[in-house]
Structure 1
Amino acid sequence: MIYPLAFGFAHSECTESWTWFLKQLRNVIQYPERVMLVSDRHAGIFAGMEAIFPDAAHGVCAYHLSQNLKKFCRQRDDVIKLYFRATYLYRVEEFNCEMAELKATHRKVYDELLEALQKYSRAFDMKQL
């Protein structure tokens, strides 16, 4: 089953609220060990996921990661394009080629993104499940 969206109402976006929300979500998911949760890297979400869904695959939303990258690399459209190309590739070999180009273009961004993209790109996401 796929649960593309769920809603919960809480007082604030904090670890306690996210943990409560994820507990409620776990109660309705039939096979929680086969879940992949994608978030915007909020610390409270990650803490809740680790506590409530420790065996689930955890991902980061490519859009939110790109927004952080845009703040970090202002005026570097070439870097943003390389990021998106690498993120949306399905084959590891193609991903590695794009990352090599990113490394040659902007080493600091490459170093920051390598771990995140290996964990959250399409080329690697099915290997986590």
Structure 2
Amino acid sequence: MIYGDGDYEYGRVWEYAAALTKYNPGSTAIVVVDNDENPPSLFQRMYVCLKACKRFFMDPNNNIYPVAWAVVEVENRESWTWFLSLLMEDLEKEDGAGLTIISDRQKGLLEAFNIVTPKAEIRFCVRHIWANFKQQFSGPVYKEAFWKACRATSIAEFNRELEGIKFLSTKAHAYLTSIPAKHWSRHAFSTTSKTNFLMNNMCESFNVVLKEARDKPIITLMEWIRRYVMKRHYEERVGVVGYEGRVMPLVTKYLQWADDECRLCSFVHSISGEYEVTHRGLKKLCIWKGVNALAKT
């Protein structure tokens, strides 16, 4: 009585999709039905990406930014491939070039990445890796070494932590080395990516929000998400109006941290564009490559 009749709403999904694209030109609304059996057709999937979401696909303050959402019959390779294909088309990101995608290695998702986004940088949520790892190798020593390996910014630091794990258990060492480091340790991340995230906490946060809508009929569900996204974007815009800084608050925080750390660093010029940098606080030494102007800054 409150949310409407489920059968009635499933019967109007075509009208809903048509309304979205009519009154919000440039949006994408796709409905897929199963026609393999005798009529009536059965609803299978629905995908929505509003024009404003794809047009302004960026958040300079690193907040959650919902771009597209879908309802599917089951999470598998086929449904993930379908969703990712539509998403890449809306974002105009052929083969996923320029994107960094973090996942929990959901069944079928890794195969979909290979098919649709072979040029994207793929990362695995380290919280999920640790959840599986600790089932066999638990304890504070393993935990400390594992997280240090994840956050390592140099291969020497990474190898040192893995050697410590190998000393404890060769099986634990083999388990971690079987997962390519480029998917879960910062030292191996591509320099083209502009994020150092290790976990998909943002996705988990959004999943918690969606719990309120999951049990509603299809159109009520879709409208709940649309209104939530619209409200969220409005609140973000209002928050920015009164902000007077030159860059966003989170970026300012990062820059202040970098400024404080730089004051503890000294460098010796090696060859053109290469420097030996020593951090007095951490007592670490590394080789830094870059243009002279950046090094001096």
Instruction: Quickly name the TM-score band, shorter chain normalised.
Output: 0.7 to 0.9
Question: Contact (CA 8 Å) 1:18, 1:48: kept in 2 or not?
Answer: yes
Partner deviation per Cα, 1:27-61 (whole Å, 9 max, x = no partner)? 13244311222211123101111110112222211
Higher helix share: 1
Distance 1:72 1:29 in 2: 40
1:114 to 174, 177, 181: 177
Distance 2:163 2:191 in 1: 21
Task: Point out which structure has higher relative CO (alpha carbons under 8 A, 6+ apart).
Answer: 1
Distance 2:58 2:122 in 1: 15
1:1-129 map, 5 Å: 6=67, 7-31=69-93, 32-74=96-138, 76-116=139-179, 118-120=181-183, 121-126=185-190
TM-score by length of 2: 0.39
Partner of 2:123, secondary structure, is strand
Deviation at 1:67, TM superposition (A): 0.6
Instruction: Give the 3 Å change call, closer, same or farther, for CA 61–2 of structure 1 in structure 2.
Output: farther
Question: Contact (CA 8 Å) 1:87, 1:117: kept in 2 or not?
Answer: no
Higher strand share: 2
Instruction: Give the 3 Å change call, closer, same or farther, for CA 87–104 of structure 1 in structure 2.
Output: same
Distance 1:8 1:62 in 2: 25
Give the count of matched residue pairs. 128
TM-score by length of 1: 0.85
Q: Structure 1: 5+ residue runs without aligned partners?
A: none
Computed over aligned residues only, the root mean square deviation of the Cα atoms, in angstroms, reads: 2.2
Q: Structure 2: 5+ residue runs without aligned partners?
A: 1-56, 194-297
Partner of 1:116, secondary structure, is coil
Instruction: Give the 3 Å change call, closer, same or farther, for CA 25–52 of structure 1 in structure 2.
Output: same
Equivalent pairs: percent with the same residue?
23
Partner of 2:176, secondary structure, is helix
Distance 1:115 1:128 in 2: 24
> Match for residue 252 of structure 2?
none
